[in-house]
A and B are shown apart, each in its own frame.
Chain A
Amino acid sequence: MDLALAPETLARWQFGITTVYHFLFVPLTISLAALVAILQTAWVRTEKEKYLKATKFWGKLFLINIAMGVVTGIVQEFQFGMNWSDYSRFVGDIFGAPLAFEALIAFFFESTFIGLWIFGWDKLPKKIHLACIWMVSIGTVLSAYFILAANSWMQHPVGYRINKETGRAELTDFWHVLTQNTALAQVFHTLTAAVLTGGAFMVGIASYHLLRKKHIPVMRTSLRLGLVAVVIGGLLTAISGDTLAKVMFKQQPMKMAAAEALWDGENSAPFSVFAYGDVDKGHNKVAIEVPGLLSFLADSTFDSFVPGINDVNKSEQEKYGPGDYRPNIPVAYWGFRWMIGFGMASFAIGAVGLWLTRRKFLLPPALRTGEDERPHLVPFHKPLSPRLTRLYWLTAIWTLGFPLIANSWGWIFTEMGRQPWVVYGVLRTRDAVSPGVSQGEVITSMVVFTLLYAVLAVIEVRLLVKYVKAGPPELTEADLNPPTKIGGDDNTADRPMAFSY
Chain B
Amino acid sequence: MQLHDVWFVLIAVLWTGYFFLEGFDFGVGVLTKLLARDRTEKRVLINTIGPVWDGNEVWLLTAGGATFAAFPEWYATLFSGFYLPLLLILVCLIIRGVAFEYRHKRPEDKWQTNWEHAIFWTSLIPAFMWGVAFANITRGVKIDADMEYVGSLFDLLNPYALLGGLVTLTLFTFHGAVFTSLKTVGDIRDRSRALATRLGVVTAVLALGFLIWTQLSRGDRWSLIAMIVAVVALLGALGCNLAGREGWSFALSGVTIAAAVAMLFLTLFPNVMPSSLNDAWNLTVTNASSSPYTLKIMTWCAGVATPVVLLYQGWTYWVFRKRIGTQHIADAH
The answer on a CB contact under 8 Å between A93 and B301 is no
Q: Which residues of B contact A415 (CB under 8 A)?
A: none
Closest chain A CB from B31 CB (angstroms): 15
B76 interface neighbour in A64, A89, A444, Cβ under 8 Å: A89
Max chain B CB contacts within 10 Å: which of A100, A174, A436, A441? A100
In the bound complex, how far is the Cα of B54 from the Cα of A114, in angstroms?
9
Contact A112 B97 (CB under 8 A): no
Asked if residues A100 and B62 are in contact (CB atoms below 8 Å), the reply is: yes
Please name all residues of chain A whose beta carbon is closer than 8 Å to the beta carbon of B34 when the two chains form the complex: none
Task: Determine the residue in chain A with the shortest Cβ distance to B306.
Answer: A104
B329 lies within 8 A of A77 (CB): no
Interfacial chain B residues near A111, Cβ < 8 Å: 54-55, 57-58
Chain B residue numbers with a CB within 8 Å of A171 are: 290-291, 293-294, 297
Contacts of B328 in A (CB 8 A): 494-497, 500
A435 CA to B106 CA, complexed, in Å: 45
In the complex, are the beta carbons of B61 and A77 less than 8 A apart? yes
Known contacts A108-B62, A112-B55; A82 and B83 CB within 8 A of each other: yes
Q: Is B202 an interface residue (CB 8 A)?
A: no
Q: Which chain B residues (50-83) contact chain A, with CB distance < 8 Å? A: 50-55, 57-58, 60-62, 64-73, 75-81, 83
The answer to the question of B277 belonging to the interface, with a C-beta cut-off of 8 Å to chain A, is no
Q: How far is it, in angstroms, between the C-alpha of A172 and the C-alpha of B306 when the chains are bound?
A: 24
B residues in contact with A500, CB < 8 Å: 43, 47, 50, 104, 328-330
Flag whether B218 is at the interface (Cβ < 8 A): no
In the bound assembly, the distance between CA atoms of A496 and B106 in angstroms comes to 19
Using Cβ atoms and an 8 Å threshold, which residues of chain B touch A267? none
Cβ A64 vs Cβ B91 within 8 A = no
| Contact of B222 with A by CB under 8 A | no
Between A74, A104, A168, the greatest number of chain B beta carbons within 10 A of the residue's beta carbon is seen for: A104
Distance of B141 from chain A, by nearest CB (Å): 12
A97 interface residue (CB < 8 Å to B): yes
Assess A74 versus B61: contact at CB under 8 Å? Given A81-B78, A115-B51, A487-B322: yes
Which residues on A sit within 8 Å (CB–CB) of B91? 448, 452
B150 interface residue per 8 A CB criterion:
yes
Contact with B along A459-481 (1 / 0, CB 8 A): 10001001100000000000000
Q: Judge whether B148 and A88 touch: CB under 8 Å.
A: no
A496 near B330: Cβ-Cβ < 8 Å: yes
Quick one: which of B35-51 are within 8 Å of A by CB?
43, 46-47, 50-51
Residues from chain A with a CB closer than 8 A to the CB of B206 are none
Whether A463 pairs with B102 at a CB distance below 8 angstroms is yes
Residues B51 and A99 in contact, CB atoms below 8 Å apart: no
Check B61–A71 contact: CB distance below 8 A.
no
A456 within 8 A of B: yes
Bound state CA distance, A168 and B289, in angstroms? 11
- B87 — which chain A residues lie within 8 A by C-beta? 82, 444-445, 448
Residues of A within 8 A of B80 (CB): 81-83, 85, 434, 436-437
Comparing B162-170, B248-256, B259-267, B310-318, the segment that makes contact with chain A is B310-318
Name which residue of chain B comes closest to A493, CB basis.
B322
Q: Contacting B83 at CB < 8 Å: which of A70, A437, A467, A496?
A: A437
Q: A70-B97, A100-B62, A487-B321 are in contact. Are A81 and B68 (CB under 8 A)?
A: yes
The CA-CA distance from A254 to B316 in the complex, in Å, is 50
Query: What is the CB-to-nearest-CB distance from A124 to chain B, in angstroms, rounded to a whole number?
Result: 7
B19 adjacent to chain A (CB < 8 Å): no
In the assembled complex, the CB of B52 is this many whole angstroms from the nearest CB of chain A, namely: 6
Interface residues of A in 485-501 (CB under 8 A from B): 486-488, 493-497, 499-501
A28–chain B nearest beta-carbon distance, Å: 15
Which one, B68, B293, B321, contacts A96 given CB within 8 A? B68
Q: How far is the CA of A380 from the CA of B7 in the complex (A)?
A: 66
B86 at the interface (CB under 8 A from A): yes
B94, A75: Cβ atoms closer than 8 Å: yes
The answer to whether A466 and B68 have CB atoms under 8 Å apart is no
Q: In chain A, what residue has the closest Cβ to B153? A: A441
Closest residue of chain A to B44 (Cβ to Cβ) is A500
Q: Which residue of A lies closest to B97 (CB)?
A: A71
A107 to B333 CA separation, bound complex (whole angstroms): 28
The answer to whether the Cβ of A401 comes within 8 Å of any Cβ in the partner chain is no
CB of A8 closer than 8 Å to a CB of B: no
Cα A441 to Cα B84 with chains together (Å) = 7
- Other-chain residue from B52, B61, B293 in contact with A103 (beta carbon distance below 8 A): B61
**A123 in the interface, Cβ–Cβ < 8 Å?**
yes
A78-B322 in contact (CB<8A): no
Any A CB within 8 A of the CB of B324: yes
B104, A501: Cβ atoms closer than 8 Å = yes
For residue A151, give the distance in angstroms from its CB to the closest CB of chain B.
15
Determine if A78 and B86 form an interchain contact, defined as CB atoms under 8 angstroms apart: yes
* Alpha-carbon separation in the docked complex, A461 to B150 (Å): 42
Residues of A within 8 A of B316 (CB): 112, 115-116
Q: Roughly how many angstroms separate A435 CA and B146 CA in the complex, as a whole number?
A: 10
A499 to B47, CA, bound (A): 9
Minimum C-beta distance from B13 to chain A (A) = 12
Asked whether, in the complex, the Cβ of B98 is within 8 Å of the Cβ of A67, the reply is yes
Question: Do the beta carbons of A68 and B79 come within 8 Å of each other?
Answer: no
B109 within 8 A of A: no
Contacts of A64 in B (CB 8 A): 101-102, 105
Which one of B51, B77, B330 lies within 8 Å of A119 (CB-CB)?
Answer: B51
Residues of B with C-beta under 8 A to A89: 72-73, 76, 147
Residue of A nearest to B42 (CB): A501
A445 near B83 with CB under 8 A, answer yes
User: A29 to B55, alpha carbons, bound, how many Å?
Assistant: 17
Q: Which residues on A sit within 8 Å (CB–CB) of B90?
A: 74-75, 78
Chain B neighbourhood of A486, CB < 8 A: 318-319
Whether A118 is near chain B, meaning CB under 8 Å from some CB there, is: yes
B309 at the interface (CB under 8 A from A): yes
In B97-149, which residues have CB < 8 Å from any A CB? Answer: 97-98, 100-106, 146-149
A:95-148 near B, CB below 8 Å? 95-97, 99-105, 107-108, 111-116, 118-120, 123-124
State A83–B62 Cα separation when bound (angstroms).
19
Q: Let me know if B77 and A501 touch, CB within 8 A.
A: no
Residue interface bits A144-185, CB-to-B below 8 A is 1, else 0: 000000000000000000010000101110100000000000
Give the docked Cα–Cα distance between A70 and B90 (Å): 12
| B305 contacts chain A at the CB level, 8 A cutoff | yes
Which positions in B face A, CB cutoff 8 Å? 43, 46-47, 50-55, 57-58, 60-62, 64-73, 75-81, 83-84, 86-87, 90-91, 93-95, 97-98, 100-106, 146-150, 290-291, 293-294, 297-298, 301-302, 305-306, 309, 312-313, 316, 318-322, 324, 327-331, 333
**10 pairs from A and B in contact (CB 8 Å cutoff):** A64-B101, A75-B94, A78-B86, A88-B76, A99-B65, A103-B62, A112-B55, A118-B51, A170-B290, A487-B320
| Extra 9 A-B pairs, beta carbons < 8 Å, given A96-B67, A496-B330 | A68-B98, A74-B93, A103-B64, A104-B65, A171-B291, A435-B148, A436-B148, A456-B98, A497-B330
